[in-house]
Amino acid sequence: MDHTLIQAKDLCRSYRTDRESIRVLDGLSLELLRGQAVAVIGPSGSGKSTLLNLLNGLLCPDSGQLQVFGREQSELTEADWAELRRTRIATLFQDGNLIPTLTVARNIAFRAGLAGLEAYEGDALLEQLDITDTAHRYPDQLSGGQRQRAALACAFAMQPQLILADEPTGSLDQATAKRVSPLFFDAIRERNVGALIVTHNPELARSCDRILELREGALHPWDSAASF
């Protein structure tokens, strides 16, 4: 089995507006293997969301090579990307991506169902994330931190092979953030999942195998002795 989940080389991506073209990614390279967690840090506007969106197929690079699960980005159709997002890639955005008309329990069941799973660990995930009492509530009846945990439960219920997360603990207090970390690292180590985690949480970042800084359009190894 090939252990490479993401192989990116010299990726460039600009945004064009009426007035200007902003080059956000400029020769970015990255390798992510199964069983590996990589933290990405970088100042606001450095291109972290742009990178996540390239890796989940919501954006295309202008140039460079990108392989996901051993498949060339240029050969993946919209339908291929949709299937990858349904079954193999869990994307966790800051605002949760829960379906507003479904309760938390039904959101989890729906996510697992989309991935083709009949059995999933909904109750255990709710318990692990300390949100069992929210199972029958709708997303707009939850606090920001509960919504974020419900979104995490949905992502893990689909048993992804690749997790792309944007500040997955951003709305959580320190104690709750600590409960969430094992979910990532157990999945990574026990199920051989790969994770790219955009975070400013030093504890979460330092639990990853590598910390990379996105600066001037490219990823650079972070000096682990430096403070956040």
Ligand X SMILES: Nc1ncnc2c1ncn2[C@@H]1O[C@H](COP(=O)(O)OP(=O)(O)OP(=O)(O)O)[C@@H](O)[C@H]1O
Which residues in this chain contact ligand X in the complex, by CB under 6 A?
Answer: 15, 17, 22, 24, 42, 44-50
**For residues 197 and 170, is the Cβ–Cβ distance under 8 A?**
no
Nearer to ligand X, 5 or 24 (CB): 24
Nearer to ligand X, 49 or 176 (CB): 49
| Closest CB 13 distance from ligand X, rounded Å | 9
| Closest CB 123 distance from ligand X, rounded Å | 33
Rounded to whole angstroms, how far apart are CA atoms 222 and 216? Answer: 14
**For residues 190 and 35, is the Cβ–Cβ distance under 8 A?**
no
Chain centre to alpha carbon of residue 214: 16
| Closest CB 199 distance from ligand X, rounded Å | 11
| Closest CB 122 distance from ligand X, rounded Å | 30
Nearer to ligand X, 42 or 168 (CB): 42
CA-nearest of 199, 212, 210 to 164 is 199
Nearer to ligand X, 6 or 24 (CB): 24
Nearer to ligand X, 46 or 159 (CB): 46
List helix spans (H) across 61-192: 78-87, 104-114, 122-128, 144-157, 174-190
Rounded to whole angstroms, how far apart are CA atoms 65 and 125? Answer: 37
CA distances from 112 to 34, 65, 88, 107, 108 (A): 21, 31, 11, 9, 6
| Closest CB 219 distance from ligand X, rounded Å | 12
